[in-house]
Amino acid sequence: MKKQRIKRSHIRLFSFVSIAVLLLSICAVSEKLQKDRWKQTVDLTRQRAVAQLCEYFDSMHTDLEKSEYANTASMFAKIGAQIERNATGAKNALATLDAGQTQLNNIYMYLSQAGAYTSSLAQKKAAGETISEKDRKQLQQLSAYAAVLHEKFLFMNDLMESGNFSFDDVAQELGDTQMENAVSYLSAAAGAEESFEDYPTLLYDGPFSDGVLKKESAFLKSQKKISKNKAREIAADILGAQSVKQLIDDGENTGKIETYNFYYNGCEAQITKRGGFVNMLLNESFAGEIVYTGENAVRVAQQFLEKCGYKDMVSSYYSTNDGICTVNFAWKQGDYICYPDLIKVCVSLADGRVLSLDASSYLMNHSERDLPAFSVRIADAVMELRSDLRIRRVRKAVIPTDGGGENFAYEFLCADPNGQDALIYIDTQSGEEDNIFLLLYSDGGTLTK
């Protein structure tokens, strides 16, 4: 009997020890997983910041290039405000990256001055003064610095994607010894800062800023709510499913565009809760060997939009990359191109499949406009353009404003003496320059920036 009690005690002790070891092991694994998750979170946050900096500096470079075409106070003010917003975003992204070990005074100074200088030219023009050749050259210098910074951070981004980049302070804190031969953020940032050794001194009067109006979709608010079963039927038809039972529920989206989400055969579809419109389509598969042309893809995209119920859509331009053609469509009302009502469709050039669709801009902005009589004649609008530009085409357009509103404009397709094409918009009510887009042509189609 005594032996049995001893045996049970040993078994109980062994069990306790085993449980203790198991719990310690679980704690150790949990701690490692938590540490790994934290590292992954830090890495993703900083990687996203670098990618954002690439976009911010690229946008600033584009806007500063556009400012060389500007010739009115309103356009200089508008471009200056856009540069200010991108500069603010870049400062925030730099703050995410910087751990106090880098001195980026020159870059921060550049970000503070670029938009303010452009806006100062708006005040100069509004006062009746002319934009001098020196002003134009300073804009070119500012543009060149934006291009350099874009290249610097694009290089960092490429290194990150290849696994040859590290953030020193993060690596040290985590005890990471796998990145010893990688280029560090500290050295890369120092290289970017050195780009400003010959940075010019800029003189200007005051900064410029404005707010962004947040809007909701009046179009969707006017539509009736549909049931989830009805949305499932719409998704099944769009995704080519034989039965609604083949679709997998993929949750719902809340916010300005509320949707029911469904998944079928590697593709997700978002159907709006009001009206039952296709808001988003995303296919997980990739394009293969190129067979289709860009023109084929435009026709496929047009037919697919009609199947989705989007009528009177006109393709404005398209581009191809890695076997995928991205087509941009805008809604046409009468003889006006309504650019706020935008839908993007991506088509595989391998087999003509629609890989994605994004109708969020259309759904947020679509409406039947009351088209006003133009107060400004075309001949008067032409007088606002640079005299050395060659006009290749004119048409009417509805264009979005930064504040969430809309303007009516003449769209001039122009070419400068060097052969660079640009779309210049002149407000039909005020006669002021409203917007400028540079056109980039390649074998892959046409891009605007």
Q: How many CB atoms lie within 10 A of CB 219?
A: 18
What local confidence, expressed as pLDDT, does residue 206 receive? 25
- Architecture of domain 218-365 in this structure: 2-Layer Sandwich (3.30)
Region(s) of the chain under CATH 3.10.450: 378-448
113: exposed, middle or buried (Cβ count in 10 Å: 0-12, 13-18, 19+): buried
Region(s) of the chain under CATH 1.20.58: 29-194
Query: Scanning the structure block, which residue is given the tokens 């998750």?
Result: 37
pLDDT digits (tens, 9 = 90+) for 398-425: 988 765 678 899 999 998 888 888 889 9
CATH numeric code, 29-194: 1.20.58
Q: Extract the tokens encoding 24.
A: 């310690």
Lowest mean pLDDT among 67-81, 328-342, 423-437: 67-81
Q: What are phi and psi of 249, to 5 degrees?
A: -65, 135
pLDDT digits (tens, 9 = 90+) for 208-267: 222 223 467 889 999 999 999 999 999 999 888 888 888 888 888 877 889 999 988 888
Q: Which residues contact 390 (CB under 8 A, 6 or more apart)?
A: 414, 415, 416
pLDDT digits (tens, 9 = 90+) for 147-160: 888 888 888 778 77
What local confidence, expressed as pLDDT, does residue 69 receive? 83
What local confidence, expressed as pLDDT, does residue 273 receive? 95
C-alpha distances out from residue 348 to 269, 297, 313, 319, 353, Å: 17, 8, 20, 12, 5
What local confidence, expressed as pLDDT, does residue 220 receive? 92
Averaged pLDDT, 300-327: 87
The CATH number corresponding to 378-448 among 3.10.450, 3.40.50, 3.40.1710, 1.20.120 equals 3.10.450
Averaged pLDDT, 97-110: 64
The string of DSSP codes covering 328-392 is EEEEEETTEEEEEEEEEEEEETTT--EEEEE-HHHHHH-----PPPPSS-HHHHHTTS-TTPEEE
Q: What are phi and psi of 313, to 5 degrees?
A: -95, 135
Region(s) of the chain under CATH 3.30.310.160: 218-365
Looking only at the bridges linking them, the beta strands covering 421-427 and 433-442 are antiparallel
pLDDT digits (tens, 9 = 90+) for 188-211: 666 666 665 555 544 333 222 222
pLDDT digits (tens, 9 = 90+) for 60-86: 888 888 888 888 878 877 887 788 788
Query: Which secondary-structure segment (H or E) carries 445?
Result: strand 445-448
Most confident of 3-7, 110-114, 329-333, 380-384: 329-333
Task: Report d(CA 157, CA 47) in Å as an integer.
Answer: 7
Mean pLDDT, the chain, whole residue set: 76
Q: How many CB atoms lie within 10 A of CB 330?
A: 23
Averaged pLDDT, 10-24: 53
What local confidence, expressed as pLDDT, does residue 192 receive? 64
Query: Nearest 5°: CA angle at 221, between 220 and 225?
Result: 80
Q: Extract the tokens encoding 282.
A: 């995303």
Count of helices and strands (H, E) across the chain: 11, 15
78-81's contacts with Cβ under 8 Å and 24+ in sequence apart are 78/402, 78/434, 78/435, 79/118, 79/436, 80/115, 80/116, 80/117, 80/118, 80/119, 80/120, 80/121, 80/122, 80/208, 81/115, 81/119, 81/208, 81/209, 81/210, 81/402
Assess contact for 120 and 135: CB atoms under 8 A: no
End-to-end CA distance of the chain: 90
Averaged pLDDT, 283-302: 79
DSSP-derived 3-state class of residue 214: coil
The pLDDT of residue 376 is above 50: yes
